[in-house]
Structure 1
């Protein structure tokens, strides 16, 4: 039986998506602001953990207060996979823009609610319970936030600039941390330590509401991404294969059909977010509680580090468009393994300049991961399952990362060893290195299941020419292999007495 091959239609200029520059800027601004909102809360929570420990867990010792407050930070990560599966399925069915508008509303309201919760002295055990409920609502919304925002930016970005443009998403994350830290320091300085513990800590959480309203306005005005619009058009034109696959995918299918993408996602998320939470969430508490710096002093050091990261972040993304994503993951992992102990030796030196250098080195390593993550993750899965698959894999992975502040605080308390966070990071570095070696390069390539995307017509012509040159090179390789096989065949025929050519 002779199989009929489906004729492949040649790719022309009309098949390459030209990205509208104005829409692209709006998409990046809206996505980055929502991400800043998410990390504003995480930053504030890490910087006021000492205050929350006293307000919500007043009967515990200072060490237990710190662990308990950070545990409340970590527990909501258990709910994130549910939010990821819920919003991921909706995002693949109804579009990215609608879901991102919903997640920022839930996130801003739940963050605002934390500032309204009475203290333990006022309502007893209900205080930490309400805090936990608010944090779980945040976890549910965040389950669809980062992955949705990274997909939104990636699907709007031209192929040759996806690393640079994607890096602005985590620029928003770092900016959110800076804003959160700056607000904490400013309010503490204005009202004083006693009043800050009494009521001043609530103000940063109240700021979340107006930020959320601004983010909602920007996201509501956005159009759907070009890649998702193309997917919808195929379904409307009767693409039976697309209809059969459907917009949802089970985690079992991701694990079997997309196992390499899944492992890459898990490894990169763990390596990035453990380093993130260790440096930006746990370290202020480490400096104040374990090294006995004043809270404001420790926060100011971290703020200076994060401001430096803001300048490095887009540079990493830009360089990844030139040199690829894999080199940065591999370099960052090796550097993290080698530098973790030396950096913590500097941090524990009691010399301000050396402390700054130790934290700065860790921050640069972190930039190597964050500079490429938002561009790398969405490129792993095809359009019709991208949101649901990535959200599920991302949020299951981040369960491990979310335990970082609690685990680091507990390990230091249990062992009385100030270098336990360094050992923790070294283990994570091994995971990151394995990820970098396993992952496929995605730089300057179209997203899976999407048409090539260019900034303008000239770039589209260059992409088309590169595509044709690549086809020609593959044909030449195949011709060379055919010639080699024909020579081998001729040699074998000559060795057989009864076979004639």
Structure 2
């Protein structure tokens, strides 16, 4: 009988992809800029919500105005899964570079348009309706933005540097948030409260258009990722006739074959983003509303914390390339579980230095997650379904995590217990710990469905040698298992009178 085992060619030095440094830097810059713009809008919108409430909902009392403005802020989270499903499918079919160019166009135009919308006094009910439509367009584009950018960077990065390179993506997120919040504070201080309510709040939104043009230029100039190019080349060899319609995406395959990684992705995204929104979105209102600090003090403390996070972020990514991704998820989860209550004790101490220390500890714990997330998630799925699987699971998880500020505020108000956010984080830490325990290590390994990648020829030789050593070790392990099975077989044969003859 003929063997059905397909002959596999040994991996040679020519099969290791050498990543061009200049292309890698351009890829990281282009991807990070789009991510920065997403969080720039979050920073701006969150800190001008009180102004938007008065401009678009003038008939309501101040509390309802704030709630209405924040409600429109939450709309993108509801639309994101649809955007993730749409752009994820297209990204796996036609490539990452094309989709990222589309998402940054939609995101920059919709953000810019918020600054153009006339007030309620000018056009009545159409003002809040247009605001809602602009936020829906934002949410749709953002659904494909972060996952596409993380995949783009991961597929461009050398195997040994993927953690460090991926960490710059969330560096862009934090930098965008700081820029947005800082710009609001600066403009408000320069023009005064009256002019800020009249026209000053529009200025930060106008900045989105030039940022988007720069991001589009950078993304349009890039080539498709090496991993996706390899995937298309394989399709050309095996299915020339079907290639014109693009690679096929099977959602049945995603759900049945990769359910474990889907759950791990959901766990990692929820634990990361709940901590993110708790610290950076909810804490300013917690400091002002519950602890009665002025809004300016709360904003400045959070901005200072985020500036500190910028320095820690790439360090976490760099260390994850050396020690692995799993240790940071596990350590971050254990630290969050153990230190959530002590951190909130410091935050409630009524001493500025101790408040800052409590927030700083939470920020460093958050860095444990954000430092590895962008490099971990793309490594969970093979090339042909990577965008679809990641975008759908990521955005559903973010939808859950996006409820954090609202739930935390409701828990504190309904219970009267200022430590409820700490208990909330401890529950999330359990999810993170389970995720870290069950996830497979991906550091210093090729992406699924892609050949190994290296920074230069010397590193390529080292990677190839490690690959061959790993094969030899696996062969030795299999030989040991065969020897054990032979012993078991012999023992069973000896127990059977007929087979033994």
Question: 5+ unaligned residues in a row in structure 1: which ranges?
Answer: none
Q: Give the whole-Å Cα distance in 2 for the aligned partners of 1:221 and 1:367.
A: 31
Any idea what the Cα deviations from partners look like across 1:85-109, whole Å, max 9, x if unmatched? Answer: 1111111111111111111111011
Q: Give the whole-Å Cα distance in 2 for the aligned partners of 1:15 and 1:86.
A: 33
Once the two structures are TM-superposed, the CA of residue 497 in structure 1 deviates from its matched residue by: 4.5
Is the CA contact (8 Å cut-off) linking 1:248 and 1:388 kept in structure 2? no
Any idea what the Cα deviations from partners look like across 1:276-319, whole Å, max 9, x if unmatched? Answer: 11211222222233333222221111111011000100010011
What's the counterpart of residue 111 of structure 2? 111
Any idea what the Cα deviations from partners look like across 1:137-177, whole Å, max 9, x if unmatched? Answer: 10000011001100000000001110010000000001101
What's the counterpart of residue 438 of structure 1? 438
Once the two structures are TM-superposed, the CA of residue 250 in structure 1 deviates from its matched residue by: 4.9
Once the two structures are TM-superposed, the CA of residue 419 in structure 1 deviates from its matched residue by: 2.8
Is the CA contact (8 Å cut-off) linking 2:79 and 2:136 kept in structure 1? yes
What's the counterpart of residue 259 of structure 1? 259
1:163 maps onto 2:163 in alignment: yes
Query: Alpha carbons of 1:418 and 1:193: their partners in 2 closer, same or farther (altered >3 Å)?
Result: farther
* More off after superposition, 180-189 vs 338-347: 338-347
Q: Give the whole-Å Cα distance in 2 for the aligned partners of 1:412 and 1:116.
A: 37
Any idea what the Cα deviations from partners look like across 1:238-287, whole Å, max 9, x if unmatched? Answer: 25899799734354432211101100111111111111112112222222
What's the counterpart of residue 22 of structure 1? 22
Once the two structures are TM-superposed, the CA of residue 462 in structure 1 deviates from its matched residue by: 0.7
Q: Give the whole-Å Cα distance in 2 for the aligned partners of 1:129 and 1:359.
A: 37
What's the counterpart of residue 237 of structure 2? 237
Q: Give the whole-Å Cα distance in 1 for the aligned partners of 2:121 and 2:458.
A: 66
Is the CA contact (8 Å cut-off) linking 1:17 and 1:454 kept in structure 2? yes
- Secondary structure at the residue paired with 2:464? helix
Question: 5+ unaligned residues in a row in structure 2: which ranges?
Answer: none
Q: Give the whole-Å Cα distance in 1 for the aligned partners of 2:440 and 2:376.
A: 10
Query: Alpha carbons of 1:293 and 1:148: their partners in 2 closer, same or farther (altered >3 Å)?
Result: same
Is the CA contact (8 Å cut-off) linking 1:47 and 1:281 kept in structure 2? no
Query: Alpha carbons of 1:338 and 1:298: their partners in 2 closer, same or farther (altered >3 Å)?
Result: same
1:144 maps onto 2:144 in alignment: yes
Any idea what the Cα deviations from partners look like across 1:435-487, whole Å, max 9, x if unmatched? Answer: 11121111111100011111111111111111111111111112222222333
Q: Give the whole-Å Cα distance in 2 for the aligned partners of 1:419 and 1:62.
A: 27
Q: Give the whole-Å Cα distance in 2 for the aligned partners of 1:242 and 1:477.
A: 41
What's the counterpart of residue 220 of structure 2? 220
Is the CA contact (8 Å cut-off) linking 2:254 and 2:385 kept in structure 1? no
Q: Give the whole-Å Cα distance in 1 for the aligned partners of 2:242 and 2:320.
A: 32
What's the counterpart of residue 396 of structure 2? 396
What's the counterpart of residue 66 of structure 2? 66
- Secondary structure at the residue paired with 2:170? helix
Is the CA contact (8 Å cut-off) linking 2:94 and 2:246 kept in structure 1? no
What's the counterpart of residue 418 of structure 2? 418
1:451 maps onto 2:451 in alignment: yes
Any idea what the Cα deviations from partners look like across 1:154-205, whole Å, max 9, x if unmatched? Answer: 0000011100100000000011011111101111111122322332221111
Once the two structures are TM-superposed, the CA of residue 354 in structure 1 deviates from its matched residue by: 1.2
Once the two structures are TM-superposed, the CA of residue 73 in structure 1 deviates from its matched residue by: 1.3
- Secondary structure at the residue paired with 1:115? helix
Q: Give the whole-Å Cα distance in 1 for the aligned partners of 2:244 and 2:24.
A: 32
What's the counterpart of residue 76 of structure 2? 76
Query: Alpha carbons of 1:485 and 1:77: their partners in 2 closer, same or farther (altered >3 Å)?
Result: same
Is the CA contact (8 Å cut-off) linking 1:247 and 1:385 kept in structure 2? no
Query: TM (normalized to structure 1)?
Result: 0.95
Is the CA contact (8 Å cut-off) linking 1:70 and 1:406 kept in structure 2? no
* More off after superposition, 58-67 vs 230-239: 58-67
Query: TM (normalized to structure 2)?
Result: 0.95
Once the two structures are TM-superposed, the CA of residue 61 in structure 1 deviates from its matched residue by: 4.3
Number of residue-to-residue matches in the alignment? 501
Any idea what the Cα deviations from partners look like across 1:73-132, whole Å, max 9, x if unmatched? Answer: 112211111111111111111111111111111101111111122333443333222221
Q: Give the whole-Å Cα distance in 2 for the aligned partners of 1:21 and 1:176.
A: 25
Q: Give the whole-Å Cα distance in 1 for the aligned partners of 2:51 and 2:119.
A: 11
Is the CA contact (8 Å cut-off) linking 2:38 and 2:107 kept in structure 1? yes
Q: Give the whole-Å Cα distance in 1 for the aligned partners of 2:268 and 2:59.
A: 39
Query: Alpha carbons of 1:67 and 1:420: their partners in 2 closer, same or farther (altered >3 Å)?
Result: farther
Q: Give the whole-Å Cα distance in 2 for the aligned partners of 1:161 and 1:242.
A: 35
Is the CA contact (8 Å cut-off) linking 1:67 and 1:409 kept in structure 2? no
1:96 maps onto 2:96 in alignment: yes
Q: Give the whole-Å Cα distance in 1 for the aligned partners of 2:208 and 2:424.
A: 32
What's the counterpart of residue 375 of structure 2? 375
1:195 maps onto 2:195 in alignment: yes
Q: Give the whole-Å Cα distance in 1 for the aligned partners of 2:55 and 2:217.
A: 34
Query: Alpha carbons of 1:197 and 1:414: their partners in 2 closer, same or farther (altered >3 Å)?
Result: farther
- Secondary structure at the residue paired with 1:76? helix
Query: Alpha carbons of 1:403 and 1:283: their partners in 2 closer, same or farther (altered >3 Å)?
Result: same
Is the CA contact (8 Å cut-off) linking 2:27 and 2:222 kept in structure 1? yes
Once the two structures are TM-superposed, the CA of residue 30 in structure 1 deviates from its matched residue by: 0.6
Is the CA contact (8 Å cut-off) linking 2:111 and 2:138 kept in structure 1? yes
Is the CA contact (8 Å cut-off) linking 1:17 and 1:452 kept in structure 2? yes
Is the CA contact (8 Å cut-off) linking 1:53 and 1:69 kept in structure 2? yes
Is the CA contact (8 Å cut-off) linking 2:170 and 2:374 kept in structure 1? yes
